[in-house]
Structure 1
C-alpha cells in the first residue's frame, strides 16, 4: 500500500512540473511514468516493465488503421478536394441567410469526415471560404469563428482516428459501432453551429446567395464532388457491411484517394509523394509514441489504484447520475483546454470509463461523450490547435475571434448535454444496424 502511494505521489509531483516547464506532452508522460516506476522498482525491473508496456500498447492490428487513415487524410489535403466539396456544400446551403457561413459549416463536415482532421478542415475549407466571405462583406472574426466552431465535426463523423484510439484503450469496443455512433452527434454539432449562424446572419444582415444555379450546373458540381463523397460510402459501407475491417478500409482509403488525386483531379504529382509520405510518417510516429508511453502511465495508474480512488471520490460527491455525469463533463472540458485529444483519450479513458459503466452508461455512448468533450478543447485556448489554425487562415487575432465564437460554444454545449443524457443519439444507428442490442 505504501509502495503504491509513493509511486502515485511521484507521478503527481513530476507530471505537472514537466508540463509547466514546457516539455512536450508525450515526453512528459513517458518521463513521469518511468520515474514513478523507478520509485517503486529496481532499475532493471523498471526498464523491463516500461519496455513491455510500450510494446503491449502498440502491438495491435487495429492500430494499423491509424497510419493508413493519416496518410489518406494528407493525400486528400493535397488533392484538390476542398474546393469541390465547397462547391457541393453551396448547393446544400446556398439559399440560407448568411449562406457562405453555412457553406463553410457543411464544407467542414464533409471535408473533416473525409480527412479525419479538424485542423485540416479548418485550414482547407477556411482557406477557401475566407476570401469569399471577406468579399461578401462578412466580419472577418465572425467568419473565422464559424470555421473554427464547425471544424471538429469531422473528428466525430467517421472515419475518425480518435474513435479508433478510444476503441483500443477501452478494451476493444467495436470500431464499426463507434463509427456509426459518431454520425448523429457530429451532424448535430454542425447543425447547432448553423442555427447560431442563421440568427447572427439575420441580425447582421448577411445576405443569401442569390446567384441562380441551373440544373445542369448543379449536376456538374455534384458529379465533380461525387468521387470524393464516394470515399465515405466505400469505406464506411465496407466496414459496416463486414466486407473489410477498419484497418483494411484505411488501406483502401489510401489507394482510392491516391488514384483520385493523381489521375482524376491530377493535383498530386509523383514528385510530391516523398513529402506526403514523410509528413504522414512524422504524424504517425507521434501518435504511436503517445500510445506507447501512455500504456506505461496506464500501468502506473492501475498499480497505484488511481482510477479506483477517483471513482470513489466522484461517487462520494453525489449518488445522483445526473450530477456525476455533469462533474465528468466539466472535468473533461477542463482537461481538453490544456491537453491534446490523443493523450487525453489515452489517459482519461481508463479513469472515467469505470465510472460511466458503474452508472450503466454504454461503452459506445461514453466514447462519443468523451471524444465530443475533448473535441471542444481543440477550439478553446490555451492549447486549441484548431482555434489557432483557424485564426491564422483568416489572418485575424484570437481576441476578436473568441468574442464571436462564444454563442457557438453555447450551442455546442447544448448538443454535448444531449449526447450525455440521451443515449439514443449515440446508440440509435448502431442498434438499427444490428451492431448492439
Structure 2
C-alpha cells in the first residue's frame, strides 16, 4: 500500500509541475514517514542521512568540473575554430554544414559531458552559419539538438559518472571506453539523414558561395581545441590522473586556452561562467541527493523485489523484457531529463539486469544511448530547447525533421543490442 502511495505521490507532483528532484524527495520522505508511524517519526531521520549519502560519493566531484568545462569552452572560441577547420576539410555544398555541425558536436563531446552545453556551444556558431547558407531555422535547430546528444556517449560523460555511482560494478574508465564506439556510430548515423534531407529539399543553396577557409591556417587555429580530448582521455589512459582529476585538468586547460591563447575570456567573464556552471551543477546534484531519499524508500519498503519477481516470472523471454525496457525508456525520455531517468529507473532495473546476467557496462552504454535519444525527442527535449532558443523558433518547427534523426539513433541502439561487443570490445581491450 505504501508503495502505491509512493508512486502516486511522485506522479501527482510531476503532473502538478513540481520539479523532478523535489517530487522524488517529497514522495520518498512521505513513504518513509508512513512506514515509521509507530516510531514517533524517528524514522524520518533517514531522510537527511540519505540526502547526504546521495552526495557523499567521490566520482560526483567530477560533475561540477565537467559542467564548468562546458561553460568555459562555450566562451573560449574553440567551437568556431573547429567549425572553420571542419569546413576547410569537407568544403562547401548542399549538406556539408549539417555534416560539420554533427562532426563538431561529436568532437566537443570529448571535452564536455553535458548535452545542453554542447548544443549551446555548437548552436551559437552553426545555426547562424546555416541560416546564411539558406537552411531553415527549424532544420538547423534539429540537427544541432540531435548532434549534441552524442555528447553523453562520447567521454567524458556526466551520464556515465552518475551511472557508475549507482552501479558499483561499472567503473568510470570502462564506461568511458564503452561509449566511444557507439558514440561515433551515433554521430555517423545522424550524418546520413542530415545530408540526405538537405539535398532532397534543396537546402543550403547559398552554401557554395561562402569562401572555403584555408586548411593549414584553420588547422593552426583549431590545434588547441583538437588537443583537449587527447589531453583528457589520453591522460586518463596513461594513468596520469583519474576521471575526477581529469575534469580539473580540463578546467585549467580551457581557461588557459580561452584567456591566454585565444583571449576570448576576460577576468570579468569568470564570474558569469562560474555562476552558470554553479547553477547547473547545483540542479544536477540536488536531484541526485533527493533521488537518494527516493531510492532508500524503494529498497527499505521492499518494492523492488516484487516488481522484479513479477517481470522475471511473467513468462516473457529475455529479449521480450529487453524490448519492453527499451520502449519504456524511449517513452520516459520524452518527458524526463537523463539524470532523472538514471536515478529513478536504475534501482528498479538493476535486479532485472542481474537476473538475466547482462553486462553492467553494456547495459549502461545502452541506457545512455536511449537517454541520448530522449534529449532530442519532443515534447521535453532539453537539447532541442537550447537549439530552438538560439534559432528563435518553437520546438514544433522541428517535428518535420526530427523523426528521421530519431530513426537513425534507434538503429544504432538496435546494433548495440544485437552486437554487445560494440560497447564491450574497447573496455576489454584496454583491460577494464
Range into which the TM-score falls when normalised by the shorter chain? over 0.9
Counterpart of 2:24 (choices 29, 51, 68) is: 29
1:211–1:283 CA distance, 2 compared to 1 (3 A):
closer
- Cα distance, 1:318 vs. partner? 4.0
- The superposition leaves residues 194-239 of structure 1 with CA deviations (integer Å, 9 ceiling, x where unpaired) of 111232233224467587858xx21221121121121111111111
Partner of 1:19, secondary structure, is helix
8 A contact 1:101–1:143 mirrored in 2: yes
2-structure distance, mates of 1:143, 1:213 = 20
1:122 to 119, 124, 140: 119
Provide, for residues 371-407 of structure 1, a one-character-per-residue CA deviation record: whole Å limited to 9, x for no partner: 1111211212222111111212122232221111111
Asked if structure 2 preserves the Cα contact closer than 8 Å seen for 1:85 and 1:111, the reply is no
Match of 1:178 among 175, 178, 194: 175
Structure 2 match to 1:191: 188
Taking structure 1 as the reference length, the TM-score comes to 0.93
**Which deviates the most, 182-191 or 303-312?**
303-312
User: Residue 20 of structure 1 corresponds to which residue in structure 2?
Assistant: 15
- Work out whether residues 94 and 103 of structure 1, in 8 Å CA contact, stay in contact via their aligned partners in 2: no
Which of 399, 402, 423 lines up with 1:402 in the alignment? 399
Question: In the alignment, which residue of structure 1 is the partner of 2:34?
Answer: 39
CA gap of 1:311–1:83, structure 2 versus 1, over 3 A, is same
Contact 1:34–1:46, Cα closer than 8 Å, also in 2:
no
> Over aligned residues, Cα RMSD in angstroms?
1.9
Query: Is the contact between residue 105 and residue 146 of structure 1 (CA under 8 Å) also seen in structure 2?
Result: yes
Report whether the alignment pairs 1:429 with 2:426.
yes
Aligned to 2:51: 54
Q: Note the alpha carbon deviations across 1:171-193, whole angstroms, 9 max, x for none.
A: 25210111111111111111111
CA offset at residue 43 of structure 1? 5.1
1:9 aligns with 2:4: yes
Matched ranges for 1:239-388 at <5 A: 239-388=236-385
Match of 2:200 among 200, 203, 218: 203
Q: Secondary structure at the match of 1:234?
A: helix
Write the distance in 2 (CA, Å) between the matches of 1:212 and 1:317.
62
Structure 1 residue aligned with 2:134, among 133, 137, 142? 137
The SS at the match of 1:144 is helix
Contact 1:157 1:179 in 2 (8 A): yes
User: In the alignment, what sits opposite 1:418?
Assistant: 415
Report the Cα distance in structure 1 between the residues aligned to 2:225 and 2:176, rounded to whole angstroms: 19
Q: Distance in 1 between matches of 2:84 and 2:409?
A: 26
- Asked whether the equivalents of residues 73 and 121 of structure 2 are also in contact (C-alpha less than 8 Å), the reply is no
Change in Cα spacing, 1:374 to 1:43, as seen in structure 2 (3 Å) is farther
Tell me how far apart the structure 1 counterparts of residues 243 and 225 of structure 2 sit (CA, whole Å): 19
Tell me if the contact between 1:353 and 1:366 (Cα under 8 Å) persists in the aligned partners.
no
The answer for unaligned runs of 5 or more in structure 1 is: 1-5
Distance 1:209 1:157, change over 3 A: farther
Distance in 2 (CA, whole Å) between partners of 1:96 and 1:194 is: 15
Once residues 162 and 131 of structure 1 are traced to their aligned partners in structure 2, the CA distance between those partners, rounded to angstroms, is: 29
- Distance in 1, matches of 2:91 and 2:315, equals 48
Specify whether residues 222 and 309 from structure 1 end up closer, same or farther in structure 2 by C-alpha distance, changes over 3 A only: farther
> What is the distance in 1 between the residues matched to 2:173 and 2:197?
37
Distance 1:59 1:139, change over 3 A: same
Which runs of 5 or more residues in structure 2 are unaligned? none
SS of the residue 2:35 aligns to: coil
Measure, in 1, the Cα distance between the counterparts of 2:53 and 2:138.
46
Larger mean Cα displacement after TM superposition, 163-172 or 114-123: 114-123
- Counterpart residue number, 2:234: 237
Matched, 1:169 2:139: no
* 1:111 paired residue number: 108
TM-score normalised to structure 2 length: 0.94
Moved over 4 A (4+): 206-214
Conserved? CA contact 1:96–1:102, under 8 Å: no
- Residue 156 (structure 2) pairs with residue 159 (structure 1): yes
